[in-house]
Amino acid sequence: MAAPRAAAVARRRGLTVGLTAAAIGLAAAVGLVWLQHRGPRLAPDFAVPDLSGQAVRLSALRGKVVLLNLWTTWCPPCREEMPSMQRLYERLRDRDFQ
């Protein structure tokens, strides 16, 4: 008698796990579809200081390609990439690149 009961419990547990996994999968799929159909959103306006300390607002750069690279002077990889950032800017500055 214990074997049929154990089998029923195992079936019920398997069904519960399966339905839960299906519900999570369905929720994820609906969420992804919703995110894709929501359309592009503008970045919120913010201001950051440039190298001379002047505030630059994102809204002032409307229509330009903006590359925002966050770095610190104590970060060796950050310092190593700065020459390549400068070369990129020099190559693209005439194309509304900031």
Is 62 domain-assigned? yes
User: What range defines the domain where residue 63 resides?
Assistant: 57-95
Query: Within this chain, do residues 1 and 37 fall inside the same structural domain, yes or no?
Result: yes
Tell which residue, 19, 20, 38, 42, has the closest CA to residue 30. Answer: 38
Q: What is the pLDDT of residues 34-74, one digit of tens each?
A: 777 776 777 889 998 887 889 999 999 888 888 888 888 88
Q: How many domains does the chain have?
A: 2
Is this model's pTM higher than 0.85 or not?
Answer: no
| Cα 92–Cα 96–Cα 97 angle in degrees, nearest 5 | 50
Residue 98's pLDDT is 63
Q: What is the pLDDT of the chain when averaged over all its residues?
A: 84
Is 91 domain-assigned? yes
Is 47 domain-assigned? no
Residue 72's pLDDT is 83
- Report how far residue 66's alpha carbon sits from residue 79's, in angstroms, rounded to the nearest whole number: 20
Query: Within this chain, do residues 64 and 29 fall inside the same structural domain, yes or no?
Result: no
